[in-house]
């Protein structure tokens, strides 16, 4: 559950737009910085098992793949150089030792009482999304995509919201999603998350109709992303369930808190979002990603990310995706008061440390 969604990606886009005028004379500034991987202690009892060109993680005798993921929150803008931005993002994510990306792209509504959805200039077109997908796939990344209902246009949190006229809403959503599903088939997207944090109606029988249509448009994995406080079976009419993990902690023993909560999830479930504001005390309400504070506390974010990664591995989950970066030629800076979830600075180093260990022979 996230109270703000739009800001980070819009900021990233504007950063490229403003900085682009000076790009010719500041090429070095546009290069993603080095993110050194600090030593990472593997969870007890875990080892890496190589199988041909791939590998699995063995924790306590059972092997399972683990997605080292980063969320891309992409709000497009007119004239965006998608291919170069995607290439720069690949370079940055390699420095984090990530091997998977989940690209969220926005769709909009005219308030909570509307029965239809629509795209805006901030919504990447299917062609733009295909360009980015191809770059990530060539870079060796597992790629999932997901339409994400913009909360500012809805006027409230999408979690718990229910369309007034489900038949009309689903008909509109089907029209919106079809060209993206066709694009996903043509580009070989591994996974399409058809509903995200729509827990108010993710058990509606109308999802079954959309799934039948999607099966004709797209042949990959169909998934549904639950909110952390409402995990269901066959949400959005599909069998693959993921979780946006914003559960609170009531202790600064973050690893213990994550392990306890992760143990309640099905084995192999992927945490499609793990995020937190870089602010002291944010662990009590981590879904609040912008907080009224006088200074940031990046150490909070770094410690939260480290604990989340270690716990997910130890409890046999299928992967973690950290929230988030934009699609941008400029790497995310350290968290700021305006954008407290920027995956830069200590938070990025924590991700790199965890993912670097996973990439190595487990030591």
Reported pTM:
0.84
Which residues of the chain carry a pLDDT beneath 70? 1-64, 361-363
For domain 74-244, give its CATH number from 3.20.20.80, 3.30.70.100, 1.25.10.10, 2.102.10.10: 3.20.20.80
Q: Three-class SS of residue 186? A: helix
Separation of alpha carbons 168 and 147, rounded Å: 18
CA distances from 36 to 86, 97, 110, 347 (A): 22, 10, 44, 12
Strands 270-274 and 54-59: unpaired
Rg of the chain (C-alpha set): 19
pLDDT value for 188: 95
pLDDT value for 1: 56
pLDDT in tens, 252-307: 999 999 999 999 999 999 999 999 999 999 999 999 999 999 999 999 999 999 99
| Sequence-separated (6 or more) residues with CB below 8 Å from residue 5 | 73, 106, 148, 150, 151, 152
pLDDT value for 230: 84
pLDDT value for 24: 30
Nearest to 195 by CA among 156, 240, 248, 229: 240
pLDDT value for 57: 43
């Amino acid at each position: 559950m996230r109270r703000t969604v739009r800001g980070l990606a819009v900021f990233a886009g504007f950063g490229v737009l403003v900085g682009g005028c000076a790009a010719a004379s500041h090429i070095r500034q546009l290069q993603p910085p080095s993110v050194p991987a600090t030593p990472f202690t593997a969870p007890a009892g875990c080892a890496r098992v190589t199988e041909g060109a791939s590998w699995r993680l063995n924790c306590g005798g059972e092997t399972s793949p683990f997605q080292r993921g980063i969320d891309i929150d992409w709000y497009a803008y007119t004239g965006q150089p998608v291919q170069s931005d995607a290439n720069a993002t690949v370079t940055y994510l390699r420095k984090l030792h990530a091997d998977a990306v989940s690209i969220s792209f926005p769709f909009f509504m005219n308030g909570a009482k509307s029965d239809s959805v629509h795209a805006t200039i901030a919504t990447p077109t299917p062609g733009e999304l295909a360009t980015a997908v191809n770059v990530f796939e060539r870079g060796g990344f597992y790629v999932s995509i997901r339409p994400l209902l913009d909360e500012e246009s809805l006027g409230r949190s999408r979690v718990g919201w229910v369309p007034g006229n489900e038949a009309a809403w689903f008909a509109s959503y089907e029209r919106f999603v079809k060209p993206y599903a066709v694009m996903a088939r043509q580009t070989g997207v591994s996974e399409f998350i058809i509903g995200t944090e729509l827990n108010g109606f993710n058990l509606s029988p109308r999802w079954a109709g959309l799934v039948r249509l999607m099966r004709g448009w797209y042949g990959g994995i169909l998934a549904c992303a639950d909110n952390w406080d409402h995990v269901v079976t066959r949400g959005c009419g599909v069998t693959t369930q993921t979780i946006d993990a914003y559960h609170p902690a009531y202790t600064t023993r973050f690893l213990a808190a994550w392990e306890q909560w992760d143990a309640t999830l099905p084995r192999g479930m992927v945490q499609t979002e793990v995020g937190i504001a870089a602010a002291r005390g944010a662990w009590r309400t981590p879904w609040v990603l912008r907080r009224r504070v006088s200074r940031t506390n990046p150490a909070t974010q770094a410690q939260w990310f480290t604990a989340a990664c270690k716990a997910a591995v130890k409890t046999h989950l299928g992967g973690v995706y950290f929230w988030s970066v934009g699609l941008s030629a400029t790497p995310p800076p350290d968290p700021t008061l305006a954008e407290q979830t920027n995956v830069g600075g200590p938070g990025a180093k924590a991700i790199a440390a965890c993912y670097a260990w996973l990439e190595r022979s487990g030591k």
